[in-house]
Structure 1
Amino acid sequence: MAKALIIVDVQNDFCEGGSLAVEGGADLASEISELISESRDFDFIVATQDWHIDPGSHFSDTPDFRTSWPVHCVAGSKGAALHRNLDTEDIDAYFRKGKYHAGYSGFDGLLAPEDEVMVGEREAHEPADPEAAGADVSLDDWLRENDVDDVVVVGLATDFCVRATALDAINAGYGTTVLRDYVAGVDADASEEALQELAEAGVEVK
């Protein structure tokens, strides 16, 4: 059986200068790149992306920053691109989530055609087809097809998409670990509460 690293939402809009920046996001992207280069523990590496087309009340002009948010990670935009500090050379697959809903969990994500994945400072562009081939393959499908039974979750943000992804992973039966040095959150207290919740749910937090 295999182990996969799941990199959650290390995108321009969630890093400094983005519309919904998490403090330390850009540095975290670099640190995750170092983890990838130094670790031989992972058989597969996947990344998730918020990829919003029309997520309804998830976007708001008067966001409460709990259930509604400023516009971010619009499909095809520069903000939705993976941050340039994240080394994508060894990423095996990308999963986009939240086209028509909030999409906090990476397990809501669907496989993206590799040639459409934007990184760093590339010009923004609309995907050739938002419902392109591969869109019916979920993250869970892909992991099971590749005999993955353990996952390690890193990325942004601890108190939202990392939390949701890790909870879905443990509930789906994967051995699940969150590396606290490789996540960053919107709110420090809420992030600690999320990590405690994950530990109580059976996730290894280390």
Structure 2
Amino acid sequence: MTRALFIIDVQNDFTEGGALGVEGGAAVAAAISRYLVRHPHRYDQVFASRDWHDAEGDNGGHFARGHSGEPDAPDFVTTWPVHCVAGTTGADYHPALDTSVVTVGVRKGQGRPAYSIFEGVTDSGLSVAQKLDELGVDEVDVVGIATDYCVLASALDAVAEGLTVRVFDDLVAGVDPSSSALALERLAAAGVRVEGASQN
């Protein structure tokens, strides 16, 4: 059995003060690091994804920009403020996240919307599915930001890939409390074990 941790989008722009910051994001970054210190040998691999959007254009309609390229009003469902632009501080991992444990970096969203880690590409140029297969991973735990978007999409895709999946509900932060609660319910209905990291 080979187990991996998926750390989803723990980036400056998704934490307090960022372009699309969620409440509790910084606390989740620190809590993930503490969890990994407590369990240094739990994971064979640690994947960490980042949104890595193009500076120009609207990234396939993901950024709220009008025809002139000027900012437009986002609907916060399918269109969003400009965030996590490649190479900017906003796209960097949050400083409270210990990235020394990351074995596989993943970038997603270059020129198009991308919520799931499976829509990204690893630093070695493989898809996430290819990398998981190469490493023989069959179990994943999922943590990070945002519960109701990228964590949800990543965990559902992991189930679709035939993996055994857990989401730690005390190591995630969401855009909206009600949609985050619904996301966790949806994950449980899909066969994901939703539980606290403190139980493990």
Q: So what's the TM-score if we normalise by structure 2?
A: 0.90
- One-letter amino acid of the counterpart of residue 25, structure 1: G
Query: Aligned equivalents of 1:42 and 1:111: distance in 2?
Result: 18
Residue 121 of structure 2 corresponds to 110
Match 1:151 to one of 137, 140, 144:
140
Match 1:88 to one of 90, 94, 99:
99
Residue 51 of structure 2 corresponds to 50
Segments of 4+ in structure 1 off by > 2 A? none
Query: Aligned equivalents of 1:107 and 1:22: distance in 2?
Result: 22
Task: Give the Å deviation of 1:140.
Answer: 1.2
Task: Give the Å deviation of 1:93.
Answer: 1.1
Residue 142 of structure 1 corresponds to 131
Residue 69 of structure 2 corresponds to none
Match 1:196 to one of 182, 185, 192:
185
Do structure 1's residue 182 and structure 2's residue 148 form an aligned pair?
A: no
Query: Aligned equivalents of 2:162 and 2:156: distance in 1?
Result: 10
Query: Aligned equivalents of 2:37 and 2:61: distance in 1?
Result: 39
SS at match of 2:61: helix
Query: Aligned equivalents of 1:30 and 1:76: distance in 2?
Result: 23
Query: Aligned equivalents of 1:163 and 1:87: distance in 2?
Result: 23
SS at match of 1:89: helix
- One-letter amino acid of the counterpart of residue 141, structure 2: V
SS at match of 1:183: strand
Task: Give the Å deviation of 1:56.
Answer: 2.4
The sequence identity of aligned pairs, in percent, is 50
SS at match of 1:196: helix
Query: Aligned equivalents of 1:56 and 1:4: distance in 2?
Result: 30
- One-letter amino acid of the counterpart of residue 110, structure 1: V
**Aligned-residue RMSD, C-alpha:** 0.8
Q: So what's the TM-score if we normalise by structure 1?
A: 0.87
- One-letter amino acid of the counterpart of residue 17, structure 1: G
- One-letter amino acid of the counterpart of residue 100, structure 2: E
Task: Give the Å deviation of 1:143.
Answer: 1.2
Query: Aligned equivalents of 1:101 and 1:204: distance in 2?
Result: 30
Residue 68 of structure 2 corresponds to none
Where does structure 2 lack aligned partners over 5 or more consecutive residues?
A: 65-71, 196-200
The aligned length equals 184
